[in-house]
Structure 1
Amino acid sequence: NQLLISVIKGLEPLTLLVPSQIIQEAFPHNSVAVLSGPSHAEEVIKGEPFGMQLASADLRAVELIRKAFNKANVYLPASDDLIGTQLGGALKNIIAIGYGIALEQGLGTNFYSMLVTAGMSDLRNLAVAGGAAPETLMGLGGLGDLITTIGSPYSRNRKFGQLLGSGISVEKALQQVGMVVEGVNAMEGALELAQEKQVSIPVINFINNIIKKRISPTKMKGLVQLLKGTY
């Protein structure tokens, strides 16, 4: 009768399963819920207000989780879209890496806006192809999480991108961050999903080519020319 709550972000490359699906396979008779969204621990631990997407197909689970967090200063909008909530949380980290590269290259706020908007289009199209509801990606589990990840100094993915943008190698950048850079780990699953579902993801592919050293970070502004022939 135990309720299982996943706070894991990722996409398994071989199976293209999200964490809740893997958990459900292991525990088929238990209710599974997901908590995902902009909740950097550095601010949460200070008692600052925040919000997370709560996803579960079990209304009882939603009630129990909200009750458990009743005294916390947190907003928990509910959804039954577990897949969309998790894909949004995993894929937005890739866009944040690209944002960090552009930030370090000093390409300007107009470029940053274009990058994030086109990247969000990639994220939405890929997640919907993977079974997400489009509206989920506009909530805390998608757009909300992306805003925090590109805007926060605590963001590991943005920091990794900034290190790449400064000319540091991928290996040394990962070492300097010193923690898991989720966007790097999510990339393989994103590319596999795009290939399987035949979804065009030009921004994600461009960022992957920089990580794989096929394109120099100094060529980030070349994304404009790429997008001209895409959207």
Structure 2
Amino acid sequence: MTHHVLLSGIVGSTAYGLARPGSDVDRLGTYAVPTKQLHGLHRPTESHVSSEPDRTLHEVGKWCRLALGGNPTVMELVWLPPELYEVRTPLGDELIDIRRSLLSAHRVRDAYLGYASQQFRRLENRGDGSFSADTRKRTAKHARHLKRLCHQGLELYTTGRLTIRVDNPQEYHDFGEQVAAHGVEVARPLLAEYEAAFDRNRSVLSEQPDETAAEAWLLRVRAHFYDTEGAPKL
């Protein structure tokens, strides 16, 4: 099966500025299959996940559906600093151009607070801090990402912009260590603070994403790759 990668880059802790020695380097991208493959008996695979390197690629249709739902991980791809892109095509640039139209106030709120709450539940399941060094390390990581999701989600909700790299990485590491050392109750006030901030602030985003922009882009991709042969393999 052949594929065309339209946009791909380095995401995760490296992109956030939170990576430490030994941290994994995560990559995320979106690709298009030749359009004819969508009309056969069996639909092509919509995601490819690999290790060495750690890379997740979503087919453009799936990527759009996830982005329109406010998925925080997927949305990182269209807000990366330029130097973190490893593949950037004209169609990929068009996707970056319509990134804000894919957003909606309630989906951003639900997705970012939902992911942050998921991190909090993982912390709750870790107990009172009396666990192994490896578990403490994972606890600190979940706490860092809880704080990051809250901060980035509120920024996106109130400004319509997403800054991938955090301003003060050490602040996030310190927070993670505090939660790992003293337990989940350290994280509860932060989550409550951001929930209140979402309630208090008015979003600049529309109530519904602009699906017409996503649809128009997707149709341009399908037309472009309708009868392609010999595309590079992933």
TM (normalized to structure 2)?
Answer: 0.30
Give the structure, 1 or 2, with the largest relative contact order (CA under 8 Å, sep 6 or more).
Answer: 2
Greater CA radius of gyration, 1 or 2?
A: 2
Indicate the structure with greater strand content: 2
TM-score using structure 1 length? 0.30
